[in-house]
Amino acid sequence: MNALTKPANATDARRAARSHILTPRLETPFHPRLAALDEVNDWYNWAGYKAPHALFDEELEYFAIRSTAALFDISPMVKYRIAGADAERYLNRLTLRDVRKLPVGRVHYTAWCDDDGHVLDDGTLFRLGEQEFRLCCQERHLSWLLDSAFGFTVEIHEETEAIAGVALQGPTSYAVLAEAGFAGVERLKPFDIATFAHDGGTVTISRTGFTGDLGYELFVPRQTALSLWDRLWTAGDGHGIRAIGYAALNRTRIEAGFIVANADFVTAEGALRADRVRLPDEIGLDWLVDPDKPNFNGRRAVLDARRNQTLRHVLVGLEIEGNVPAEHAIVYHRGKREAGLVTAAIWSPTAKRNIAIASLTRPYGTRFVDDLWVEIYAMRELKYQKMMKRAKIVPRPFVKLARRTATPPGLR
């Protein structure tokens, strides 16, 4: 080894040591199409995947959802296939809702807790067969799912990488599917699932979404993802179809009053402090809890908290005066005593209101519901301006669209 090779090898060693930083994020099956449409190079990390925060303009992408049709890549959403003789019994033990009431060909929104009743995550459960399910969620839980399966005859595996998913949302979304040749999709009611032919195989279409609008989610094997995108894109040419990023989707989910794990609440596995975890009733998920079904994880803790009135938090919708979004603003009672924190906020173009989702510490939000204020810091010409704005508790969703549930949907 000569003197000239040592520095080079040392450099290579240093580069290898930090290769975890240089390694590109995973690319979804739809990434080639998204990259071709990207104009702003605004990407973020979603569960290890490269995902667009925006593709061309956040405002226009929002209006594509509310005015025409929008395609959003949901492939990074964590997906588990759960099957076996005890699949129903296992999921009924794991989750809050009664899985026995979920028919084949339907989806329901659910959540699951640790033994102390603290929410681990929320997501959607697809019943694909009598004993075959797909669980979709925000965080990875394979170890927890496998540990919880002790004593059950069930197989669980992650299929995030193998299954591509895309959300088609907006008032012309049904028109796009009809144009694409998915005959019979008009019969799907909200939370229905159906299978259609595509590219020598099948595509599973559910009437679901995260926008509070008319919409669908489509799932295919990874190898037929691009042909599905092209089929939808071609069909949507006359219906105003656009590809969108998360920023636009996030606006619509706030309008719909939907919550996001580790944004509106901290998951039990992700919490570093004991006071950050939440029971279902503390984040507006009390309606998911079925106290009449057999035992489920956290059942005793959830029902004891109700009976003993030891719930500490409440998630509420707020309408705030003015038009400056109050994201991460502190909520005060009578302008003096801290009552909680805003977890998500926007000026809603559809509702024409300044809206927010906030986590309040009881009794604020339950006994004390009036004289609430938010402290907003707005940047004005390189200087923060402090504003105290009145807030009032209002029902969620902030935006409720009749087309979301209309069956058959209109073609627009």
- Which residues are bridge partners to 347 per DSSP? 354
Cα dihedral 395→398→401→404 (10° resolution): -80
Residue 26, in any domain of the structure:
no
Which pLDDT does position 379 carry in this prediction?
Answer: 85
Question: Is 299's pLDDT higher than 80?
Answer: yes
Asked whether residue 232 falls in the same domain as residue 129, the answer is: no
Which CATH number does the domain housing residue 385 bear? 2.40.30.110
Asked whether residue 82 falls in the same domain as residue 218, the answer is: no
Asked whether residue 37 falls in the same domain as residue 92, the answer is: no
Which pLDDT does position 10 carry in this prediction?
Answer: 56
Residue pair 74/51 in contact by the 8 Å Cβ criterion: no
Residue 295's nearest CA partner among 155, 146, 46, 89 is 89
Confidence band for 378, pLDDT divided at 50, 70 and 90: confident
Question: Is 181's pLDDT higher than 80?
Answer: yes
Residue 270's nearest CA partner among 121, 51, 160 is 121
Confidence band for 229, pLDDT divided at 50, 70 and 90: very high
Residue 377, in any domain of the structure:
yes
22: CB partners within 8 A, 6+ apart: 15
Confidence band for 6, pLDDT divided at 50, 70 and 90: very low
More confident residue, 381 or 170: 170
Residue 409, in any domain of the structure:
no
Asked whether residue 142 falls in the same domain as residue 245, the answer is: no
Asked whether residue 58 falls in the same domain as residue 176, the answer is: yes
Whole domain around residue 60: which residue ranges? 32-77+161-255
Find tokens 């390694």 and name the residue.
23
Residue pair 389/374 in contact by the 8 Å Cβ criterion: yes
Question: Is 178's pLDDT higher than 50?
Answer: yes
Which pLDDT does position 5 carry in this prediction?
Answer: 39
Asked whether residue 210 falls in the same domain as residue 64, the answer is: yes
* Mean predicted lDDT score pLDDT of the chain: 94
Asked whether residue 142 falls in the same domain as residue 210, the answer is: no
Which pLDDT does position 32 carry in this prediction?
Answer: 98
Asked whether residue 193 falls in the same domain as residue 227, the answer is: yes
Residue percentage of the chain with pLDDT more than 70: 94
Q: What is the mean pLDDT of residues 67-94?
A: 98
Which pLDDT does position 283 carry in this prediction?
Answer: 98
Query: Residue 250: what residue type?
Result: N
Which pLDDT does position 3 carry in this prediction?
Answer: 41
User: Does residue 217 have a known ligand-binding role?
Assistant: yes
Which pLDDT does position 12 carry in this prediction?
Answer: 56
- Which residues are bridge partners to 301 per DSSP? none
DSSP collapsed to 3 states, 165-197:
EEEEECCCHHHHHHHCCCCCHHHCCCCEEEEEE
Number of compact structural domains in the chain: 3
- Cα three-residue angle 389-392-395, rounded to 5 degrees: 140
Estimate to the nearest angstrom the gap between the alpha carbon of 270 and the chain centroid: 17
Residue 319, in any domain of the structure:
yes
Helix (H) or strand (E) holding 343: strand 337-348
250: CB partners within 8 A, 6+ apart: 260, 344
Question: Is 23's pLDDT higher than 50?
Answer: yes
Confidence band for 380, pLDDT divided at 50, 70 and 90: confident
Cβ-based burial of 53 (10 A; exposed 0-12, middle 13-18, buried ≥19) = middle
Residue 111, in any domain of the structure:
yes
pLDDT tens-digit series, residues 318-339? 999 999 999 999 999 999 999 9
Residues 134 and 140: their CA atoms lie apart, in Å, by 14
Asked whether residue 112 falls in the same domain as residue 153, the answer is: yes
Cα dihedral 271→77→281→376 (10° resolution): 70
Which pLDDT does position 4 carry in this prediction?
Answer: 40
Domain boundary residue among 158, 191, 224?
158
pTM over 0.85: yes
Which pLDDT does position 275 carry in this prediction?
Answer: 87
- Of the chain, the end-to-end C-alpha distance in Å amounts to 73
Q: What is the mean pLDDT of residues 93-120?
A: 98
What is the DSSP track for 236-252? GGGGTEEE--HHHHHHH
Residue pair 47/123 in contact by the 8 Å Cβ criterion: no
Which pLDDT does position 24 carry in this prediction?
Answer: 59
Strands of the 106-113 sheet, one edge to the other:
106-113, 119-129, 132-137, 78-83, 155-158
Which pLDDT does position 82 carry in this prediction?
Answer: 98
Asked whether residue 87 falls in the same domain as residue 204, the answer is: no
Asked whether residue 152 falls in the same domain as residue 206, the answer is: no
Which pLDDT does position 7 carry in this prediction?
Answer: 45
Question: Is 344's pLDDT higher than 60?
Answer: yes
Residues 70 and 211: their CA atoms lie apart, in Å, by 10
* Cβ neighbours of 354 (radius 10 Å): 22
Which CATH number does the domain housing residue 132 bear? 3.30.70.1400
Which pLDDT does position 11 carry in this prediction?
Answer: 54
Question: Is 2's pLDDT higher than 70?
Answer: no
Domain boundary residue among 223, 255, 287?
255
Q: Compute the half-sphere exposure of residue 38: CA atoms within 13 Å on the CB side of its CA.
A: 17
Residue 306, in any domain of the structure:
no
Residue 364's nearest CA partner among 391, 332, 394, 396 is 332
Domain boundary residue among 95, 129, 158?
158
Asked whether residue 96 falls in the same domain as residue 168, the answer is: no
Q: Which three-class secondary structure state does DSSP give residue 344?
A: strand
300: CB partners within 8 A, 6+ apart: 117
Residue 140, in any domain of the structure:
yes
Strands 78-83 and 132-137 turn out to be antiparallel
Which CATH number does the domain housing residue 193 bear? 3.30.1360.120
Residue pair 182/206 in contact by the 8 Å Cβ criterion: no
Question: Is 1's pLDDT higher than 60?
Answer: no
Residues 218 and 228: their CA atoms lie apart, in Å, by 9
